[in-house]
């Protein structure tokens, strides 16, 4: 069996962390099994769907590296839905209903008042048509057929169809609700695994009967725990965190994807440089049922760790022309965002303008300049310099390292000094130490 998964966003806005996570897990599962990852644009809501949002979804997926193997949009598939709807209607599995929303709401309140579950009370036979009122349509659940499946995350799931309302599948204006078109698409596209949030569990229960009514096998189902904000509560802020925010923050796609691949699992969250590496270790058996806590600060931390380990080959297309491989390897550990590298140009070129050192450090830096002229620059010059100065001055820790960093970079913090000193070279290091000493 070829594994086929799908990501089915509505084109009403940019991708956010919730649906990026869904797309990623579908992508990784398909990639792991050598299968196909499809994009289905759910644009049946004509009022809210826009071509601009659809184009942005494609662009966002491309930026994330989650490009689909094929894409379809539901608005191109209405003839297919109509055909399958008529087949179900002829089989008695869909029926017309003429109640207004107000009438349905009243019936729900009456049932609740009686202490009964607010389940739609199926009329005897077909609803009598109401003059001047178009019907909406419901799918008739089979009350004699128990609903059960083994979820890849949640384990054994069971629903009593007698405790579920026959779902509305089509509105009075002829437009489609989500449930039936999604099943028709999954059958037609050969979807083998449906991976989505746990808020769809009850939808899956009724959709399993739709698969059966259409004579199709059932895809495997995996329902993930939902994301919550770092403070532990569901938050509208999560809807604002996505590709747009990532790009504005100057963060790398793999920082977000590294977090979302492991969030809510028993696996450690760590920076991973490629989707293939994430796919190789992806396993629904690691997923828990507790809410997954998302914190943008974790993305920023992973971003810095990714940059610190990133090779020049991986980084070069994002770097300005002045950054060659030695400069990248020397500066990368100073970065939390790729764009920050521009601020380090003067450090590796002339014109740094380092300040004169504090009085108590000038003699030490003069001695450092002299030591730099004596050490072997063919080995590990930073280690040789600091070892020599520690022996001669008795300084250690911050008192030893901070004046040297400040003299050589004009900054209190920055990249690892060993590769930076090797990059700067003997003459530049001596000149900067001497200038800071006031020589």
**Placement of tokens 């920023």 in the chain:** 300
In angstroms, what CA-CA distances link 7 with 1, 23, 27, 70, 135?
19, 5, 8, 11, 31
How far is Cα 205 from Cα 158, in angstroms, rounded to an integer? 8
Residue 433: count other Cβ atoms within 10 Å of its Cβ.
Answer: 27
Closest CA relative to residue 383, chosen from 404, 366, 403, 362: 404
Is 236 flagged in the annotation as binding?
Answer: yes
What phi, psi does 432 have (nearest 5°)? Answer: -70, -40
**Placement of tokens 């128990």 in the chain:** 146
Binding-site residue ranges for ATP: 236
Binding-site residue ranges: 236
């Amino acid at each position: 069996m070829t594994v086929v998964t799908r990501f089915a966003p509505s084109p009403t806005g940019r991708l956010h962390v919730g649906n990026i996570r869904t797309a990623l897990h579908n992508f990784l599962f398909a990639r792991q099994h050598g299968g196909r990852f499809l994009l289905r644009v759910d644009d049946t809501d004509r009022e809210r769907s826009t071509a601009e949002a659809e184009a942005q979804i494609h662009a966002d997926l491309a930026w994330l590296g989650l490009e689909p193997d094929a894409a379809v949009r539901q608005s191109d598939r209405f003839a297919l839905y109509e055909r399958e709807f008529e087949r179900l209607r002829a089989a008695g599995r869909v029926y017309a209903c003429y109640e207004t929303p107000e009438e349905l709401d009243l019936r729900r309140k009456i049932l609740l008042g009686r202490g009964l579950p607010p389940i739609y009370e199926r009329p005897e036979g077909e609803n009598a048509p109401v003059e001047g009122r178009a019907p909406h349509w419901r799918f008739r659940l089979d009350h004699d057929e128990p609903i059960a499946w083994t979820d890849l995350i949640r384990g054994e799931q069971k629903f009593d169809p007698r405790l579920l309302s026959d779902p509305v599948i089509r509105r009075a204006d002829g437009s489609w609700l989500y449930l039936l078109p999604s099943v028709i698409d999954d059958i037609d596209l050969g979807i083998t695994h449906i991976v989505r949030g746990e808020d769809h569990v009850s939808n899956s229960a009724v959709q399993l009967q739709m698969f059966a009514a259409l004579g199709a096998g059932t895809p495997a189902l995996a329902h993930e725990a939902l994301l919550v904000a770092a403070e532990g509560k569901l938050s509208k802020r999560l809807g604002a965190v996505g590709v747009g925010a990532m790009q504005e923050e100057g963060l790398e796609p793999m920082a977000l994807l590294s977090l979302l691949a492991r969030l809510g699992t028993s696996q450690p969250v760590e920076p991973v440089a490629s989707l293939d590496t994430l796919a190789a270790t992806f396993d629904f058996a690691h997923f828990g049922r507790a809410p997954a806590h998302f914190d943008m600060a974790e993305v920023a931390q992973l971003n810095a760790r990714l940059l610190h380990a990133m090779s020049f080959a991986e980084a070069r297309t994002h770097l300005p022309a002045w950054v060659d491989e030695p400069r990248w390897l020397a500066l990368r550990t100073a970065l939390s965002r790729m764009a920050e590298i521009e601020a380090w140009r003067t450090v590796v070129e002339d014109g740094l303008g380092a300040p004169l050192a504090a009085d108590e450090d000038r003699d030490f830096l003069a001695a450092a300049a002299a030591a730099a002229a004596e050490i072997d620059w063919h080995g590990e010059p930073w280690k040789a310099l600091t070892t020599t100065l520690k022996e001669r001055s008795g300084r250690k820790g911050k008192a030893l390292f901070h004046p040297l960093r400040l003299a050589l970079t004009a900054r209190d913090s920055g990249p690892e000094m060993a590769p930076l000193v090797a990059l700067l070279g003997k003459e530049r290091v001596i000149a900067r130490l001497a200038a800071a000493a006031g020589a």
